[in-house]
Amino acid sequence: MTLGIALLGTGVIADRSFAPAVQAAAGAQLVAVLSRDKSRGADFAQRHDIPEVYDDLAALLRSPRVDAVIVATPDATHEPQVIAAVQAGKHVLCEKPMTTTVAGCQRMAEVVRASGMTFAMGYTWRFNQGAQKIKAMIDAGAIGQVRYARGLLSTRAQDPAGWRAHSAEARYWALSGVGTHLIDLWRWYFGEPASVGGGMISPVHHSVNDEIATLVLLYPDRLLAELTVTAVFEGGNRVELYGDTGDLIGEGLSGARPDGRITHNGQPVPFQPVNPFLEEVTDFVEAVQQQRPPRATLEDGLRNVAIMEAAREGRMQITL
Ligand SMILES: NC(=O)c1ccc[n+]([C@@H]2O[C@H](COP(=O)([O-])OP(=O)(O)OC[C@H]3O[C@@H](n4cnc5c(N)ncnc54)[C@H](OP(=O)(O)O)[C@@H]3O)[C@@H](O)[C@H]2O)c1
């Protein structure tokens, strides 16, 4: 069965990453797009060869061609769109972060679980060959027990007039743009942190959301993993892991077309980069077809936002 997929949103990630990925994925067909503006939607549909265009979500969800949706809209919009989609019997691939608050994630989780529809989170690093290579090497003991990990990422979505900088559609800026990916990476590599510390500031545009953030994830008696993310300067794209017997350094791994380099104790580690969005869409399609969980789940979405929320509220305990 070919899965008919609709794209919600016509922004950067829908245009550059998801539309081409769905067109290239086996077993998937891009059948509809949602835009608040009909002419923008029509233009998007023409460029990507999409047969149906909507400016009303309910109408899109009534289309018999639509089996699943990819939610690629601002963070706060994920909640109503995901809830409406699963209630209409559609599977969902939801962009990160799941939404802006833990309470919102829990409302989504309740409806998704009751619906029985497949729900995947868009944590693209899980499909990044560099990140997978590092995980395989950690798991094989290449650097012994990891004691310290840190990541530095900056986002190119730096427009202070954009939705990320404001409270109506977002609660995090740098953390939503890239920090949530590193939280997911450390959770994937090391499991659940016991607590989180850190700080966030907004010194350039004085946004209500974080422009620079550092989070410190504590795994007592095992390791400390931190991440620093920014929305106000370019160039950060590095992860470093230090263990009892060596180190692994990844540079330039992040992005839609990752290339990057990995070194292990100073020696280059070969790996073959792939398009992580194509891998992510393929995993989603197969998860629906095989009725199995996707690689990044509802639980991953929920726990990730719980870590961001604890950090934002300045409490170390992560509560769900
Ligand atoms: N996985 C990744 O690596 C990655 C990378 C980038 C972004 N993302 C995530 O993908 C989502 C979209 O990000 P993006 O970079 O594509 O953002 P964007 O370029 O601003 O696009 C968002 C789109 O959502 C639609 N939209 C609906 N309600 C909106 C509102 N109230 N304000 C603004 N736009 C609204 C708009 O399409 P219409 O104007 O046509 O309605 C807009 O083009 C976010 O959740 C983000 O965190 C993930």
Return the CATH number of the domain spanning residue range 128-274+304-312: 3.30.360.10
Residue 257 binned pLDDT confidence (cut-offs 50, 70, 90): low
Cα radius of gyration (the chain): 19
**CATH 3.30.360.10 intervals, the chain:** 128-274+304-312
**Mind listing the pLDDT tens digit for each residue in 62-82?**
999 999 999 999 999 999 999
What pLDDT does residue 235 have? 87
What pLDDT does residue 312 have? 96
159 in contact with ligand 1, CB cutoff 6 A: no
Residue 1 binned pLDDT confidence (cut-offs 50, 70, 90): confident
**Mind listing the pLDDT tens digit for each residue in 86-96?**
999 999 999 99
How many angstroms does the Cα of residue 286 sit away from the middle of ligand 1? 25
104 in contact with ligand 1, CB cutoff 6 A: no
Asked whether residue 98 carries a pLDDT value surpassing 70, the answer given is yes
**CATH 3.40.50.720 intervals, the chain:** 3-124+278-296
How many angstroms does the Cα of residue 156 sit away from the middle of ligand 1? 13
Residue 259 binned pLDDT confidence (cut-offs 50, 70, 90): confident
**Mind listing the pLDDT tens digit for each residue in 126-165?**
999 999 999 999 999 999 999 999 999 999 778 999 999 9
State which ligand 1 atom lies nearest to the alpha carbon of 73.
24
Return the CATH number of the domain spanning residue range 3-124+278-296: 3.40.50.720
Specify the amino acid at residue 85: A
Dist. CA 278–CA 245, nearest whole Å: 35
**Mind listing the pLDDT tens digit for each residue in 189-240?**
999 999 999 999 999 999 999 999 999 999 999 999 999 999 999 889 999 9
Residue 261 binned pLDDT confidence (cut-offs 50, 70, 90): very high
Asked whether residue 304 carries a pLDDT value surpassing 90, the answer given is yes
82 in contact with ligand 1, CB cutoff 6 A: no
